[in-house]
Structure 1
């Protein structure tokens, strides 16, 4: 079991490391590098625990708390977000410290009562600007609805310039160390981008507004301690600036091609499109869907300007392996993307129209409608058209 880690005098990480988890939110999110469930214990004249951990790790949390202060004393239990990976140990903490006073948003309280109707606890509803003194330190709260649940909020400790934003600025990343200056920050940023793309992308407009709100509050932020992954202490502005960039959605001169194929005809078209994009000076990522992780693909789409999706027709429809990516894109609604549908068919079509309808449903602007489609096998002129379309798309996204 990992040990408590000091963040500042009297402030400790008391979370848990989940080395083995490979899927999150059921099968919806792949976590190749595991994750952490971060909780923070503040020992002052009064004590506070900010967030808990996923239920199966409750004993680890309690063991860490006891190493710091035994018997454990918790005056305030802050619930920034009630999802089970953060509040799953809530009943165990209330059993341990039944007099702990719960601090949460109104929606947070409603969610706690729905999740744990058998628990009776003292609580205070907090709003943006509410502050609680612990003695030398103060807890100040900032509501952050839909980042990424309606109940979400941030906790800020001004005396330490420490922001505890729950799911914001986090990543699914298991590590034996806790801080950004102790790891390969490139890997961590890659996981942070994947986290944003697959969970927070639909809320980009709200994130932009929240970042502007925090800027207007003139908060000094020296450390950001999220509820998943590493703690940003060396350069917290790195992740703040990345969020501002991702929320803006402008992207770079980059295209993502995601496709699958039956007898290589659609694949030949995918490679011709890739060649044209590259010749036009565009960065390209190409994924065959049957052998790729769609959460990784969505991460690449985050900062791309173009999304190209290809499928042959089967049963007047698209290949089943293509559909989950399109379903995700419809839900995530990526900003400022252009798209192209392509593919092959035999005696009858159907896939092309479905691909284009799904891209439109995801609010992706079609670059060409209809996109390139071929019967049976692409001829030389078909591949040339794909190549030229790639060059034209590259010119568009480089503007």
Structure 2
């Protein structure tokens, strides 16, 4: 036992020496520029009240699913919510998973087969890459948002071809060129899979996501919708055809061999979907505030802030070693800001990751900009 503990401690010491050792921490009372609660639903008293009302209506259900959905865990609320999700996102069917990570792993470990080829954007989320590791398909990365590089690499594809992207990337905050990608996939008879974790709630007339906003729902084979961000809840769904849903029920081990979501989580999503259509002002406000912060920060010396059209902003400094001290200074001044270091991002791409929310104020935006200016 001691030998293995020594090996683990050595690995931790190596990461600490690199300045990248992770720690859990809690923060209270700080201005939130860190969480994925884009629209404020996770703190919404209106949503909380709706959930409480719905819980009374569904008191006949157990609090937990009690088992996998193929055994004791399925009930009518699952089926009703999946029908709502499919219709809302203009898809034929939906299947709930217990998290965005599980959804990506469950989809991508089950779908590509031996002899198939998968091309994924090099900036794709870790859950997508981990899912591919469990498949038997050949996998290749293409340069971030580089359609020409993907076109070149598609020449070497065999079997069924899949292309994986995020509609908005979780670290860089930039959009995938979905129109160009969907056209290329149509030409090459490739199946396009889009992770919409950071666009659900924010894009589309009713928050349906970027795919729907662009009118591409019929060109995308599968979408992964994550609910721990703009919807303020938990869980995820894969939306696509009824055949895809039936296939995943039969072949996705991440779905088959796990207990279903608890009743409260389902009711939270059900209620969040009832609120989404009325949140257009919040969607407009958060994007306007993010634009203000982007413009303010790019006027500062020694700072580069990207991208120009996202609520996820990356602040790059001339020296990555300055990031952690700056984040600590900002937290001491009341702003919850976190550095993102390697290996979460590639070496040389370390940054402060700022998230703007609909509940932030113009005064907070100005205060953060001034604190960053003073801290650098």
TM-score after normalising by structure 2: 0.29
Which protein has greater RCO, CA pairs closer than 8 Å, 6+ apart? Answer: 2
